């Protein structure tokens, strides 16, 4: 294929790693600790938007590593967020061909539904193991914040990063 | 690399599926470990945060400061009005300051007259808030003081006015503050004019409800709630907030600490008060008898 102008596979992996770290880091900014603000899960948006646009799926270790780092650093229940991210990315990757043909609102809805399922799964797991679960209202706001952030992240991924050279050739080369 | 990218997609597909299955199993196991040995995993989390956040601090702070400046800029039109308000407020405060000074002097005179010996004053270390919790699962914040500054688990955190929370998880140079509003926070308090004991139990909302209220009708919205020293975790007489009536009809607490502007906090370092847990050795009942019998055999020989 015409891979000469697109990023190579190691470069894509490195770039996703870098953007993932930035996404985790952005949630840590103390804009109003304890206040009403709920930060969106940018890592989920990034990974889903990336998987739907990249020519192949990112490596499993990268998804697990990023998900675990987010779980640990963002004080979420450890393991569940990473599991949800991994499964969502895999499901999105397997249905890439059909999802890519859809108009953007459909992709957006699918991403939001996916995140809703992840949060519902986490909530159920916390309840089943008698752990403290946040009130569903908070999780709903988390879902809304993430859904609102998705188009922006998807735009950034589609526009800023030339993932595949198929339909669009990038004017500038990006070595890293 | 010997295998081309597209040479055997099926082989790669099944390998990937296997990897995902293994990872999913490991992640589930990790979650169970977190549930079973929570304290140790949480300590690991704090240690990791302690390693990571100071490295990011130089990026976190300017971004937060810029965001705050933008939020403040929105209010620039009201600047004249605000100025007037502040002037009036300063005037009022100066009156109060005078009254407080006079009271303090009077208090000192009375204490001196009566030879009162008070507990050693609390010492504190001022910390800057470095990072947010980042998700709705916890109401917490990271501050930039840690074990090296004498902070320990359970230390009380206040801002200029009221109780913010307590330290849960200490690293070498950072610590995690569990806020009053977190679902795992319970603070025993007393409502001041009526003297009712209450429990301020966080539920992740901005106004935590008051539990275990003796006579709910004795509480009025606006009453002050201060901490009692019950349980020994929080020092007594720290302002927690005011009673308010929630939208659900429950009596709730509006925290005195300003959570929206949590830049600097004070972490109190407290020497725990001496606990008297038994009778003294001199005037107690004759409890030291068991020590006596071993002596006679030697004397007999």
The rounded mean pLDDT for chain B is 82
Contacts of B142 in chain A (CB under 8 A): 28
- The better pLDDT of the pair A114, A166 is held by A114
Could A135 and B205 be called an inter-chain contact, meaning their C-beta atoms sit closer than 8 Å?
yes
Contacts of B56 in chain A (CB under 8 A): 25, 28
Tell me what pLDDT residue B298 has.
46
* Residue in B closest to A94 by C-alpha: B13
Query: Quick check: A21 contacting B, CB < 8 Å?
Result: no
pLDDT the model gives residue B8 = 52
Task: Give the lowest-confidence range in A31-45, B76-90, B273-287.
Answer: B273-287
Strand partners of residue B124: B268
- For residue A3, the distance in angstroms to the closest alpha carbon of chain B comes to 12
Nearest to A29 among B41, B132, B136 (CB): B132
Establish how many alpha carbons lie within 13 A of residue B127's alpha carbon, considering only the half-sphere containing its beta carbon: 32
Angle at B255 between CA B213 and CA A37, to 5 degrees: 125
Whether B119 has a pLDDT exceeding 80, the answer reads no
Give the pLDDT confidence score for residue A166 in this predicted structure. 46
Smallest Cα distance from B66 to chain A, Å:
10
User: Residue A32 — pLDDT band, cuts 50, 70, 90?
Assistant: low
pLDDT at B280 over 90: no
Q: Which positions 88-107 of A are in contact with B (Cβ < 8 Å)?
A: 90
Q: Which two tokens stand for residue B200?
A: 């301020």
**How close is the nearest chain B Cα to the Cα of A33, in Å?**
5
How far is B130 from B264, CA to CA, in rounded Å?
9
pTM reported for the whole predicted model: 0.77
How many residues comprise chain A? Answer: 176
Please report, for residues A16, B158, B208, the alpha-carbon distance to residue B202 in angstroms, rounded to integers and kept in the order given: 38, 16, 5
For the segment A105-122, the average pLDDT, to the nearest whole number, is: 93
Q: Distance between CA atoms of A33 and B50, rounded to whole angstroms?
A: 18
Residue A122 has pLDDT above 90, yes or no: yes
The verdict on A56 touching B (C-beta cutoff 8 Å) is yes
User: Which of A10, A23, A33 should be substituted to probe chain B, the one whose Cβ sees the most B Cβ atoms within 10 Å?
Assistant: A33
Q: Which has more pLDDT, A61 or B229?
A: A61
Per-residue HEC secondary structure of chain A comes to CCCCCCCCHHHHHHHHHHHHHHHHHHHCCCCCCCCCCCCCCHHHHHHHHHHHHCCCCCCHHHHHHHHHHHHHHCCCCCCHHHHHHHHHHHHHHHCHHHHHCCCHHHHHHHHHHHHHHHHHHHHHHHHHCCCCCCCHHHHHHHHHHHHHHHHHHHHHHHHHCCCCCCCCCCCCCCCC
Position A143 confidence tier, pLDDT thresholds 50, 70, 90: very high
Residues B162 and B244 sit within 8 Å (Cβ to Cβ): no
Whether A32 and B259 lie within 8 Å, measured CB to CB: yes
pLDDT band of residue B218 (cuts 50, 70, 90) is confident
Q: What residues in A contact B130, CB-CB < 8 Å? A: 30
Nearest beta carbon to residue A28 from set B67, B134, B181: B134
DSSP B209: B
Count the alpha carbons within 13 Å of B280 in the hemisphere toward its beta carbon. 2
**ipTM associated with this complex:** 0.83
Name every chain B residue with its beta carbon within 8 A of the beta carbon of A41: 135
Q: Does residue B281 register a pLDDT over 90? A: no
Min CA distance, A4 vs chain B (Å)?
15
Assigned token pair, B209: 């409800």
Tokens standing for A164? 């595949």
What was the pLDDT predicted at B20?
A: 92
Nearest to B270 by CA among B228, B215, B220, B232: B232
Q: Smallest Cα–Cα separation from A31: which of B74, B174, B68?
A: B68
pLDDT band at B300 (very low <50, low <70, confident <90, very high): very low
HSE of A169, CA atoms in CB hemisphere, 13 A: 6
> Looking at beta carbons, which residues of chain A come within 8 Å of B207?
none
- C-beta separation of B227 from B221 below 8 A: no
Q: Closest to B31 (Cβ–Cβ): which among A33, A77, A90?
A: A77
Contacts of A32 (CB under 8 A, 6+ apart): B132, B259, B260, B262
What pLDDT was estimated at residue B121? Answer: 61
d(CA A151, CA A146): 10
pLDDT at B283 over 50: yes
Q: Between the CA of residue A42 and those of A20, A22, A46, A82, A109, what are the distances in Å? A: 8, 9, 6, 13, 16
Q: How many CB pairs under 8 A join A and B?
A: 143
pLDDT tops 50 at residue B220: yes
Q: What is the pLDDT of residue B229?
A: 81
CA-based diameter of chain A, in Å? 55
């Amino acid at each position: 294929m015409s891979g000469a102008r697109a990023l190579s596979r190691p470069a894509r992996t490195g770039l996703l790693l870098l953007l993932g770290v930035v996404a985790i880091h952005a949630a840590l900014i103390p804009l109003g600790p304890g206040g009403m603000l709920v930060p969106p899960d940018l890592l989920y948006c990034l990974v889903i938007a990336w998987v739907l646009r990249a020519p192949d799926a990112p490596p499993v270790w990268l998804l697990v590593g990023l998900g675990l780092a987010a779980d640990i650093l963002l004080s979420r229940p450890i393991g569940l967020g990473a599991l949800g991210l991994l499964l969502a990315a895999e499901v999105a990757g397997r249905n890439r061909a059909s999802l890519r043909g859809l108009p953007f609102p459909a992709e957006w809805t699918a991403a939001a539904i996916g995140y809703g399922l992840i949060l519902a799964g986490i909530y159920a797991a916390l309840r089943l193991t008698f752990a403290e679960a946040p009130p569903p209202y908070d999780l709903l706001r988390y879902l809304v914040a993430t859904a609102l952030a998705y188009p922006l992240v998807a735009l950034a991924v589609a526009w800023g990063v030339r993932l595949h050279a198929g339909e669009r050739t990038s004017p500038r080369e990006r070595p890293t | 690399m010997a295998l081309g990218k597209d040479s055997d997609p099926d082989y790669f597909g099944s390998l990937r599926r296997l990897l995902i299955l293994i990872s999913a199993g490991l992640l589930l196991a990790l979650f169970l470990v977190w549930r079973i040995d929570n304290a140790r995993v949480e300590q690991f989390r704090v240690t990791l945060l302690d390693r990571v956040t100071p490295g990011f601090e130089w990026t976190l702070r300017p971004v937060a400061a810029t965001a705050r400046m933008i939020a403040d800029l929105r209010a620039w039109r009201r600047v004249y009005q605000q100025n007037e308000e502040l002037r009036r407020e300063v005037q009022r405060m100066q009156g109060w300051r005078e009254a407080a000074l006079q009271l303090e002097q009077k208090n000192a005179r009375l204490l001196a007259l009566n030879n009162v010996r008070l507990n050693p004053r609390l010492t504190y270390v001022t910390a800057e808030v470095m990072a947010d919790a980042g998700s709705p699962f916890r109401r917490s914040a990271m501050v930039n003081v840690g074990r090296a500054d004498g902070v320990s688990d359970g230390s009380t955190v206040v801002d200029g006015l009221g109780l913010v929370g307590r330290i849960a998880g200490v690293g070498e140079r950072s610590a995690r503050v569990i806020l009053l509003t977190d679902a795992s926070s319970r603070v025993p308090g007393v409502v001041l004019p009526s003297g009712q004991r209450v429990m301020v139990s966080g539920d992740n909302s901005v106004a935590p409800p008051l539990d275990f209220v003796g006579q709910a009708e004795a509480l009025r919205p606006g009453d002050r709630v201060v901490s009692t020293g019950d349980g020994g975790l929080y020092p007594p007489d720290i302002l927690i907030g005011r009673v308010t009536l929630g939208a659900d009809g429950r009596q709730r607490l509006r925290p005195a600490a300003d959570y929206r502007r949590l830049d600097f906090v004070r972490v109190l370092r407290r020497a725990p008060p001496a606990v008297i847990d038994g009778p003294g050795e001199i005037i107690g009942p004759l409890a030291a008898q068991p020590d006596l019998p071993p002596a006679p055999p030697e004397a007999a020989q």
